[in-house]
Structure 1
Amino acid sequence: MTIIVVAVFGSAALHSNSQSILGVRARIPFDFMVGDQIIPAGMVSARGVNTSNAGTLSITNHSVNENIVRIGHRLPGTNITKQGKLVFHRYGDRYYLAEVWVPGYKAWQVEESNSERAMKSERRFARNTRPRVVTVLAEIQ
């Protein structure tokens, strides 16, 4: 089952080594995990630090002024997107950031954490293998 939450995103241009790296921003209505850290609900932005196929993702919660970095890589089989969005995997009441879609780029896949792998393993054992997918859509400002 896929749940879609519609939100308004801002696309922010950030400059690094004379390259323009875009990010997306949205008000996320639930707490979620990045790696093994909890990000509280609030205004959140996510961006790739470079335009290569793998590297660092920067996730910032502007509501509590907290920044987390996580390894990510381009999601295989995706095309350059026109729609920004954040995709979460939901296991019960836990949400994990799984993908970052920035307009004009291919999607980033966030490296799974140990706790998400453990949740997957538990669900496989219970024969309930797929997480719910929650997508927060972006509207570019």
Structure 2
Amino acid sequence: MKNLTAIALFVAAGIATAGSALAQDHKVTANVPFNFTVNGRTLPAGHYTIGNDSSSPRTLTISDREKGVAVMAITVPDYRASADNKLVFHRYAGQYFLSEIRTTNESMTCHLPTSKQEKWAKAQTQEASVRDNHDVLIALN
């Protein structure tokens, strides 16, 4: 009976350890020196933590504790690992829109859908023939 109890405890401990290993969070940090938009919400420049977890890998959380801001975004995964870690922003007439997260950890590499606000900003700059459209890369810490 004692052996059966010991085996049951061993199995339970193994399952608990495996469950916590599967639910690990993936996080990166970045200093963003400009205001930027995610899902139609403008976030101030600051030090951001960006993460997801294995239970909902398509949901990204972007937060700056010092400024008390946080936003969640649904992403499109990109299962190709990048050579380096960076955020990619689209810039239209001085407005920045978070577009991609590229990491060496393929579970964090993703694209953010283009928001209505970004589509509008892009159309406005094209209509005005402004040549201020380009991608801006920020290194992740």
- Do 1:39 and 1:61's aligned partners in 2 also have CA atoms closer than 8 Å? no
Q: Cα distance, 1:128 vs. partner?
A: 5.6
* Structure 1 unaligned residues grouped into runs of 5+: 1-14
1:132 deviates by 0.9
1:33 and 2:34 matched: no
Moved over 6 A (4+): none
Taking a change above 3 Å as real, the CA distance of residues 68 and 16 of structure 1, as seen in their structure-2 partners, is: farther
1:59 and 2:72 equivalent? Answer: no
Distance 1:16 1:123 in 2: 48
Alignment partners' CA distance in 2, 1:132 and 1:48: 27
Letter in 1 for 2:47: M
SS at match of 2:81: coil
Bigger fraction of residues in strand:
1
How far apart are 1:82 and its partner, in Å?
4.4
For the pair 1:117 / 2:106, whether they are aligned, the reply is no
Aligned residues: 122
Higher relative contact order, structure no. (Cα contacts within 8 Å, ≥ 6 residues apart)? 1
Would the alpha carbon gap of residues 22 and 121 (structure 1) be closer, same or farther in structure 2, given more than 3 Å must change? Answer: same
Q: What do residues 51-93 of structure 1 show as CA deviations (whole Å, max 9, x unaligned)?
A: 77x7211111223122100110123xx6212421111111111
Match of 2:24, SS state, is strand
Q: Does 1:42 align with 2:35?
A: no
SS of the residue 1:60 aligns to: strand
Larger radius of gyration: 2
Q: Which residue of 2 aligns with 1:80?
A: 81
Q: 1:102 corresponds to which residue?
A: 103
SS of residue matched to 2:138: strand
The CA deviation string for residues 20-65 of structure 1, in whole angstroms up to 9 with x for no partner, is 232210111111111111110111121234377x721111122312
Quick one: distance in 2 between partners of 1:66 and 1:115? Answer: 20
The Cα of 1:130 is off from its aligned counterpart by 8.2
**Alignment partner of 1:132 out of 108, 131, 134:** 134
Distance 1:124 1:20, change over 3 A: same
Relative to the length of structure 2, the TM-score reads: 0.72
CA RMSD of aligned residues (A): 2.7
How far did 1:136 drift? 0.5
Q: What runs of 5+ residues in structure 2 fail to find an aligned partner?
A: 1-18
